Structure 1
């Protein structure tokens, strides 16, 4: 057998991690039969014997001996004189098996055959890779940074598979260098042409849930259940936990002594602030817990509209809303209710005015900045210290003083 590049390549394929011997032999036979059809018009009378372990193969063409001058199909029949060159004892009507050398197919056909073989092997690999990672969707995966681009980080796992971490799936504080190990969840697998594209995410709620499973034994063992997870990646998260065993304090077990257990998770997420709360089917209590660290006075629920009015003392409002409005937003997502903050005592102030009433004199973005810290009426701002407002908002002192001047003029009038 000629030791051509096609045969030499068998050793490459037989060690492929994603292909078994039986499948490899089937692919090889299919590729060779296609080549034989192109060369001879049919492959029905060919036997193909493949031994990929040795990097060897044989092709035999079977033809019937006919009298000289009576050959009608050169692929199926062979003239007696030609058959007797192979073996002198052949007679008309007998079957002749003749080995076909790969070189007989022609150099161009051999190159095309090798290319087709490689293509089918890769197609098989890609199909298996797609199935492999489809089963890993929602699971934590670790890979190494191979290349950092402006909009995406390309990762390579231990088996050489390429994984994509897009910018929008990265935590804002993430910073990667080539060679860094990165953890995230496999969020999706998409076929781009015939090649699967594996997408990793570090911003998905599921990533935080899976980190709890990895880092906290009671969660991994099923003694503590994660009921819900909501996140603003890199900023704040809320996790509702529960346990069927009354002897287990689910919050205490997750947080650990002085935060020892949750510290690793916080660090992994770029110092994301994580609130762990006890889940309950008592909706009023659940909403109250979700708004921690604020102390809620009472809750009025409209189940039909999925809304709840949360009554708080004035000094608790900013805690409930949180920096940038993150706390109240996450509490709403966690409970599934739209939460309206009602300041106790403000309703009785007949001469108070909503801040939006001043939209002709105060820019909308300035009004939004005050609203983020729970200040949406004139008196709620006038009752604050200017230095405190500068600290709690992204507004300049000059802007705050101008707003106060406008509000004071309203009450003087």
Structure 2
């Protein structure tokens, strides 16, 4: 047991987690093991000194009133005031914490075995927690990965860092096919935990947000904030409309988004299986914006019937 701190350092390095996280997992494992050796109602405190590579465990018993119900419910965690004064001295007061050393080695080899089992469990949970937090912060970003499997439900499994990504059929552009070894670009929707797949990344290529992120990558004026994407609508793989605006009079938002000879918009369209993308100059005037959004259709009449519900009655020339 004298090498336990070295084991903690080794596990932190092997599992690529911080030493602080590994020490936290060790404390949880040691407390759980100590409770198994005594009682699950017991209270313990663990301190670890990485400088001298040592740890210390104390069992804590809190002094309570003689009629406190917890004396019967959790007798290993509390002690009656009168009993505490009788056993430890008359200077004991309510709320005092009586501490005694807990030595794991005195509880036999089974206790040591349980500790290592608990440590492995808590280290693994910490690894999963770190991964969850790492990728949760990336939700809404574009991810890259390599296809390594396609199942009979046409779910596409993609290797992305330490986790697997799943691009389901409903989140793929209609008619889009991938094969093992393909590099795929998709938007991270969620970090999910499933009994069948474990922790995985739910990906999509059909979200309007995916189109926005691709535009942001191709158009520097969007990524630096000079041009703002106000709204996006898509029929994935077929057509899309994206409304743009800018506060800079010297910038043409449509021209910047399309690029010279359409090079920027075509790069995005090619990534989306040839999706036809129309860029619209946004207007704060609803009637003007709606007219632009429905172009090239010719509008004969337009009436906003409910501003709150955003309902509009439109008559379009056939």
Q: Report the TM-score, using the length of structure 2 for normalisation.
A: 0.72
State whether structure 2 residue 298 is matched by structure 1 residue 300: no
8 Å contact from structure 1 (residues 212, 265) kept in 2: yes
Which structure: greater strand fraction? 2
User: What residue ranges of structure 2 are gaps of 5+ in the alignment?
Assistant: 60-100
How much does 1:196 deviate? 4.0
Could you say if the C-alpha distance between residues 299 and 15 of structure 1 is closer, same or farther in structure 2, counting changes exceeding 3 Å?
farther
Match of 1:151 among 151, 154, 157: 154
Could you say if the C-alpha distance between residues 47 and 169 of structure 1 is closer, same or farther in structure 2, counting changes exceeding 3 Å?
closer
Could you say if the C-alpha distance between residues 7 and 336 of structure 1 is closer, same or farther in structure 2, counting changes exceeding 3 Å?
farther
Could you say if the C-alpha distance between residues 29 and 287 of structure 1 is closer, same or farther in structure 2, counting changes exceeding 3 Å?
closer
Describe the SS at the equivalent of 1:247: coil
Whole-angstrom CA distance in 1 between matches of 2:275 and 2:219: 17
Whole-angstrom CA distance in 1 between matches of 2:178 and 2:223: 29
8 Å contact from structure 1 (residues 39, 105) kept in 2: no
RMSD of the TM alignment (CA)? 3.6
Whole-angstrom CA distance in 2 between matches of 1:136 and 1:99: 44
State whether structure 2 residue 137 is matched by structure 1 residue 138: no
Q: Deviations over 1:371-397 (max 9, x none)?
A: xxxxxxxxxxxxxxxxxxxxxxxxxxx
- Counterpart of 2:263 in structure 1 is 260
- Counterpart of 1:13 in structure 2 is 12
How much does 1:37 deviate? 3.5
How much does 1:235 deviate? 0.7
How much does 1:336 deviate? 6.8
Whole-angstrom CA distance in 1 between matches of 2:48 and 2:160: 37
Whole-angstrom CA distance in 2 between matches of 1:156 and 1:287: 42
Whole-angstrom CA distance in 2 between matches of 1:15 and 1:164: 27
How much does 1:3 deviate? 7.6
Please say which structure displays the higher CA radius of gyration: 1
State whether structure 2 residue 37 is matched by structure 1 residue 39: yes
State whether structure 2 residue 216 is matched by structure 1 residue 238: no
Whole-angstrom CA distance in 1 between matches of 2:46 and 2:266: 66
8 Å contact from structure 1 (residues 188, 199) kept in 2: yes
How much does 1:30 deviate? 2.6
User: What residue ranges of structure 1 are gaps of 5+ in the alignment?
Assistant: 63-96, 307-334, 344-413
8 Å contact from structure 1 (residues 59, 100) kept in 2: no
8 Å contact from structure 1 (residues 186, 201) kept in 2: yes
Whole-angstrom CA distance in 2 between matches of 1:224 and 1:36: 60
8 Å contact from structure 1 (residues 61, 100) kept in 2: no
Could you say if the C-alpha distance between residues 117 and 195 of structure 1 is closer, same or farther in structure 2, counting changes exceeding 3 Å?
farther
How much does 1:228 deviate? 0.9
8 Å contact from structure 1 (residues 14, 24) kept in 2: no
Match of 1:186 among 182, 188, 213: 188
Match of 1:283 among 281, 286, 292: 286
Q: Which has the higher contact order (CA 8 A, sep 6+)?
A: 2
How much does 1:238 deviate? 0.7
How much does 1:287 deviate? 2.8
Whole-angstrom CA distance in 2 between matches of 1:164 and 1:280: 38
Q: Report the TM-score, using the length of structure 1 for normalisation.
A: 0.57
How much does 1:256 deviate? 1.3
Whole-angstrom CA distance in 1 between matches of 2:3 and 2:170: 51
